[in-house]
């Protein structure tokens, strides 16, 4: 995309002048969201371990690429430093990088796979948030969206460790939302069902046999854009075929000072 084209498009773009970081941006949900954020006027920094795919996406959106292992705290800090140096700051962080576990907690437990999944799915969100907060505060606020999953709202017997990772991201979003709101930083999560990404590659046969539709990555990207341009905080937006994406309502959850329910 030429500089002239981006300037013309950004006249009415809601994210004109904003800088966005997208982790896991080389493919799937990250790629689609990087394109959507750029289309909305943002300058995008694409981060991924897949250098070839990440650079391709960065070229398409007229943005930047930075290799990043999100499970490494220093790598997250370096990513934010790169965005500040090359783009002037950060306004939006889509913390999307993630993997499936490929193991359970019984005889199939694999410590390497477990650590890899925890590193990408949970540490990547925690480390990414920690790293980007100073940059967001320097801009007077901003938006963080983390990719959780419908697996963070429901049980996942086929991959309980993945479910645990994503439940943790949901809990983080619900807790950090109100905690960061006084700093004008909005933290939310997106919780898609089976969506077009590399994670579902091992499941495609099963999904096809059961007639379960796969959510287009663009639907998730559009939802992320709605969250970023909205005013919610601490929300977890579910995305399922045949339903309009919206924040999940955690009804009747007993808490401190609240009566129990039956």
Q: Helices (H) and strands (E) in the chain — how many of each?
A: 9, 8
Total-model pTM: 0.90
Residue 112 CB contacts under 8 Å (≥ 6 apart), including other chains: none
pLDDT confidence of 81, banded at 50, 70, 90? Answer: very high
Note the pLDDT of residue 211: 72
pLDDT 10s digits, 31-45: 999 999 999 999 999
pLDDT confidence of 144, banded at 50, 70, 90? Answer: very high
Tokens of 232: 């919610």
Note the pLDDT of residue 214: 78
pLDDT 10s digits, 149-193: 998 999 988 889 999 999 999 999 999 999 999 999 999 999 998
- The yes-or-no answer on residue 261 being catalytic is no
pLDDT confidence of 252, banded at 50, 70, 90? Answer: confident
Q: At which residue do the structure tokens 């965005």 appear?
A: 83
Examine the pLDDT at 3 and tell me if it is beyond 60.
no
Tokens of 7: 């300037």
* pLDDT-above-70 percentage for the chain: 90
Nearest Cα residue to 145 out of 190, 90, 97, 183: 190
Q: Which residue has the higher pLDDT, 24 or 157?
A: 24
Torsion of CA 144, 39, 47, 72, to 10 degrees: 0
User: What pairs with residue 224 in β-bridges?
Assistant: none
Nearest Cα residue to 187 out of 234, 248, 134, 226: 234
Tokens of 205: 């046969």
> What is the arithmetic mean of pLDDT over 60-64?
97
Q: What is the mean pLDDT of the chain?
A: 91
Note the pLDDT of residue 257: 64
Examine the pLDDT at 260 and tell me if it is beyond 60.
no
Domains of the chain with bracketed CATH? 14-247 (3.40.50.720)
Residues counted in the chain: 262
The span from the CA of 60 to the CA of 38, in Å, is: 9
Counting Cα atoms < 13 Å in the Cβ hemisphere of 29 gives 33
Note the pLDDT of residue 219: 95
Tokens of 78: 């370096």
Q: Which of 114, 162, 194, 261 is catalytic?
A: 162
Examine the pLDDT at 4 and tell me if it is beyond 50.
no
The span from the CA of 202 to the CA of 194, in Å, is: 12
Note the pLDDT of residue 67: 98
Examine the pLDDT at 262 and tell me if it is beyond 80.
no
Q: Do β-strands 246-247 and 236-239 pair in parallel, antiparallel, or remain unpaired?
A: antiparallel
């Amino acid at each position: 995309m030429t500089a002239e084209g981006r300037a013309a498009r950004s006249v009415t773009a809601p994210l004109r002048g904003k800088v966005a970081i997208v982790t896991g941006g080389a493919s799937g949900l990250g790629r689609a969201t990087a394109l959507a954020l750029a289309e909305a006027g943002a300058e995008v920094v694409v981060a991924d371990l897949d250098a070839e795919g990440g650079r391709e996406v960065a070229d398409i959106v007229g943005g930047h690429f930075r290799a990043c292992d999100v499970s490494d705290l220093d790598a997250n800090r370096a990513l934010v430093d790169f965005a500040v140096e090359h783009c002037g700051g950060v306004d939006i962080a889509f913390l999307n990088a993630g993997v499936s576990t490929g193991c359970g907690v019984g005889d199939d437990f694999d410590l390497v796979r477990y650590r890899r999944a925890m590193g990408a799915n949970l540490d990547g969100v925690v480390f990414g948030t920690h790293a980007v907060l100073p940059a967001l505060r320097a801009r007077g606020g901003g938006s963080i969206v983390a990719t959780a999953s419908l697996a963070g709202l429901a049980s996942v017997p086929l991959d309980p460790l993945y479910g645990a990772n994503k439940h943790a991201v949901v809990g983080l979003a619900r807790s950090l939302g109100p905690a960061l709101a006084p700093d004008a930083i909005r933290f939310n999560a997106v919780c898609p069902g089976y969506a077009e990404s590399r994670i579902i590659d091992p499941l495609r046969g099963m999904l096809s046999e059961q007639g379960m539709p796969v959510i287009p990555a663009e639907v998730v990207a559009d939802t992320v854009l709605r969250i970023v341009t909205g005013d919610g905080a601490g929300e977890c937006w579910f995305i399922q075929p045949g339903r309009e994406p919206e924040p999940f309502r955690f009804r009747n959850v007993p808490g401190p000072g609240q009566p129990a329910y039956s």
